[in-house]
Amino acid sequence: MSTFHITLFGKFCVRCQERVIDSLESRKAEELLCYLLLHRNRAQSREALTSLFWSDSAPAQSKRCLRQTLWQLQSALEFQTEMSGESLLSVGPEWIQLNPRCDLWLDVTAFEQAFLLAHNVPGEKLDPQRAHAIREAADLYQGNLLEGWYQDWCLYERERLQNIHFAMLDKLIGYCEAQHHYEDGLIYGMRLLSHDRARERTHSHLMRLRYLSGDRTGALRQYEQCVAALEQELGVKPSQRTQSLYGLIRADKFPEHLAAPTETQAMLEMPTSSLTAMLGNLKQFEFALAAFHTQVDREIEVIESTLRSRP
């Protein structure tokens, strides 16, 4: 087990050497640590941190607050440094970041890395290895990011990671249908609806899965639930595609080989504002990934150089 084991999905929890650190001295210390964890691939300037966390304070006071919060955080983690010889944080005169040499397992990191394995791969085309990785990553999502926190930076990251979670579940539903694992697909679909009951695409998937599993009545009732949810949440009716699917199932003429809606087709039905937000999230994720690769290359060079210098 890693020296540090930190979870951000659901309730924030820090474990060090299997010991739970239940207090980081102050809420600001927790917020600072979580922000650094979510932006772990690059150093954060002290000036940017003070502007983010103490925007209502004068510059001198905000700098003093940052120093105090940083001291509280380091004090709470001091025993870990003594045990492992590596601090969780790397602190400079003008910047702060996570120590890349620290032995750390973070649920968000594992979650994002698994998603990258299946990026741009439709669910029905996943191989068993990728499907297994996505399934394990989806299980890491034990709740929305840092539940109970409402800071702007947290809300943005929460929405971004929730969208990734939805994409994972969509892929798993497509995989389960292709593999005829209809019951598993239904479970993933219900998980999606527990987050967004008006998600029409998921209702359509569940209609298909119920019918293919032999539950035609359940498929028809799923459509009724879709109609009710869309009316109550958005004041709209199901799309023509969903209505056509309902007509085929009601007439008991649904062809089993009929292809499920692809991710591209689903995107074409999304409003421009949603696509713009998704594009922004993906570009930020791409930037973070590039920074992560740069950091890995740098660490590899340091290790190789160290090994070459030894007799």
* CATH number of this structure's domain 4-77+92-106: 1.10.10.10
Going residue by residue through the chain, which has 311 residues, state the pLDDT in tens, using 9 for 90 and above.
567 899 999 989 988 877 888 767 688 999 999 999 999 989 999 999 999 999 999 999 999 999 999 998 888 887 665 665 678 899 999 999 998 888 899 999 999 999 999 988 999 999 999 999 999 999 999 999 999 999 999 999 999 999 999 999 999 999 999 999 999 999 999 999 999 999 999 999 999 999 999 999 999 999 999 999 999 999 999 999 999 999 999 999 877 555 455 555 555 455 565 556 556 655 655 555 555 555 555 666 667 666 666 66
Among candidates 168, 107, 182, which has minimal Cα distance to 132? 168
Query: Which tokens belong to 198?
Result: 């008006």
CA–CA gap between residue 284 and residue 290 (Å, rounded):
10
Contact 285, 160 (CB under 8 A): yes
pLDDT digits (tens, 9 = 90+) for 87-135: 889 999 999 999 888 889 999 999 999 999 998 899 999 999 999 999 9
- The amino acid present at 118, given as its one-letter code, is A
**pLDDT value for 17:** 77
- Map tokens 């958005």 to a residue: 234
Among candidates 215, 288, 294, 293, which has minimal Cα distance to 249? 215
